[in-house]
């Protein structure tokens, strides 16, 4: 297939960019410098001439973006290795930025369209939803999933006049704003006394374990192995899609319920390193949740702000005194002022407090601390996963 061959050539270019960067004896070349080398590389290796210039530059940018992300992780104290050569099973997409593609949604029947990729040709696609009339396509990515399916994704730019205006900062208070604690026992805990349950994926994980056991019994490289590998990939894809759909609906529910949403700025890697949390890595995807929340905030006209997370569990939301709590202690009981509440609720209230500070606002006179349900009275309002799915709008 032309598209598959094309992606493989981009993979070879990516690996050559890595080789050129690694073997530069003096100063390491910048993205700009390596883009300037592309014409010479095309003369030396004609296979690279098969690539569209903008798509080739996007591949160079991809390497430098991965390099930048690696540096950021190292700067935060995380243990990182070095960028590896990409194998055909790992490098499965190509991006066209600004040019090199065309969209024709007129000659296909409803729900279908055609996309032309330079050097590849026309590709028939099925729309998940129509593109907005007022949006401009800035980038198109063609990707082959591990299941063998192909997808095309569009990055759009919308004029400011079509973006909802966010509420004035002086209109925000504790009644129309919320702080969110990203929990372990619950998916999220809000500052106004709501807890949202985890999405139940036990059946899906059980099937994944069963299919992985079958895969381990197949001879590696055989046709039966490849067939079973795709079955495992499809089960993993189902889990990812369920999580993404749930996060879409949860974030939509939050940004339509409140004028301002404050969420912890977490060290996600550190949060998930413990053995007790390893089981949740697949379906937590906190970074994805926060990214979606920010995107939905712009889409629906809601303030979404990340607040410092350090000490939100220890600090009393009522008086500010810090009290150390092991992970198994699920209640907050302040020895200074006597305030008692759920551990995660206390953290969520501190996130709300710090969120207002991030926006340069004073702490509202009417705070949730004065009205929150204490642990020695009634339970907090539990919001089931099914309720979120029912009330959340369809993923945009």
Mean pLDDT to the nearest integer, 184-194: 81
Q: What is the DSSP string of 21-38?
A: HHT-SSSPPPHHHHHHHH
Query: Which residues make Cβ contacts (< 8 Å) with residue 52, sequence separation at least 6?
Result: 96, 99, 100, 117, 118, 119
Q: Which of 202-216, 230-244, 281-295 has the lowest mean pLDDT?
A: 281-295
> Where do we find the tokens 């890697």?
269
Which pLDDT score, from 0 to 100, does residue 394 have? 52
Which pLDDT score, from 0 to 100, does residue 365 have? 53
- With bands split at pLDDT 50, 70 and 90, how would you rate the model's confidence at 279? very low
Asked if pLDDT for residue 99 goes beyond 70, the answer is yes
**In contact, 181 and 342? CB cutoff 8 Å:** no
Residue 243, CA atoms < 13 Å, CB-side half-sphere: 21
pLDDT tens figures, 221-244:
899 999 999 999 999 989 988 888
Buried b (16+ CB within 10 A) or exposed e, 275-304: eeeeeeeebbbbeebbebbbebbebbebbb
Mean pLDDT to the nearest integer, 121-141: 84
3-state helix, strand, coil in the chain (%, to 5): 45, 20, 40
> Torsion angle of alpha carbons 284, 285, 290, 295, nearest 10°?
-120
Asked if pLDDT for residue 196 goes beyond 90, the answer is no
Backbone phi and psi for residue 181, each to the nearest 5 degrees, phi listed first: -100, 125
Query: Which residues make Cβ contacts (< 8 Å) with residue 64, sequence separation at least 6?
Result: 30, 31, 34
pLDDT, the chain, mean: 81
Asked if pLDDT for residue 206 goes beyond 90, the answer is yes
- From CA 8, how far away is CA 3, in angstroms rounded? 9
- With bands split at pLDDT 50, 70 and 90, how would you rate the model's confidence at 370? very low
183-192, 349-358, 385-394: which is most confident: 349-358
Q: What ranges do the domains of the chain cover?
A: 1-94, 98-138+151-161, 169-387
Asked if pLDDT for residue 30 goes beyond 70, the answer is yes
């Amino acid at each position: 297939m032309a598209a598959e061959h094309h992606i493989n050539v981009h993979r070879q270019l990516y690996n050559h960019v890595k080789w050129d960067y690694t073997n530069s004896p003096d100063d390491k070349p910048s993205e700009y410098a390596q883009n300037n080398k592309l014409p010479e590389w095309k003369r030396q290796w004609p296979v690279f001439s098969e690539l569209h210039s903008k798509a080739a530059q996007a591949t160079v940018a991809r390497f430098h973006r991965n390099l930048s992300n690696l540096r950021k992780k190292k700067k935060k104290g995380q243990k990182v290795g070095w960028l590896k050569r990409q194998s055909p099973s790992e490098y499965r997409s190509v991006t066209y930025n600004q040019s090199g593609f065309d969209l024709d949604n007129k000659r296909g029947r409803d729900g279908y369209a055609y996309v032309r990729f330079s050097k590849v040709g026309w590709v028939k696609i099925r729309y998940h939803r129509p593109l907005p009339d007022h949006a401009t396509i800035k980038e198109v990515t063609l990707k082959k999933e591990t299941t063998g399916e192909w997808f095309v994704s569009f990055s759009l730019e919308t004029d400011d006049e079509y973006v909802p205006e966010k509420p004035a900062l002086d209109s925000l208070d504790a009644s129309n704003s919320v702080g969110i604690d990203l929990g372990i026992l619950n998916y999220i805990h809000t500052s106004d006394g709501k807890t949202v349950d985890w999405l139940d994926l036990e059946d899906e994980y059980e099937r994944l374990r069963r299919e992985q056991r079958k895969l381990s019994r197949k001879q590696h490289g055989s046709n039966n192995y490849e067939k079973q590998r795709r079955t495992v990939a499809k089960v993993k894809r189902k889990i990812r899609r369920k999580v993404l759909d749930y996060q879409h609906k949860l974030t939509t529910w939050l940004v339509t319920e409140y004028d301002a949403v404050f969420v912890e700025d977490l060290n996600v890697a550190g949060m998930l390193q413990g053995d007790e949390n390893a089981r949740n890595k697949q379906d937590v995807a906190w970074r994805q949740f926060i990214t979606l929340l920010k995107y939905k905030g712009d889409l629906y006209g809601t303030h979404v702000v990340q607040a410092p997370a350090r000490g939100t569990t220890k600090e009393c939301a009522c008086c500010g005194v810090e009290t150390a709590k092991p992970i198994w202690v699920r209640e907050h009981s302040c020895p200074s002022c006597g305030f008692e509440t759920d551990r995660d609720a206390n953290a969520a209230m501190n996130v709300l407090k710090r969120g207002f500070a991030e926006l340069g606002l004073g702490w509202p006179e009417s705070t949730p601390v004065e009205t929150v349900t204490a642990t020695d009275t009634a339970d907090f309002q539990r919001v089931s996963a099914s309720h979120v799915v029912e009330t959340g709008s369809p993923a945009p």
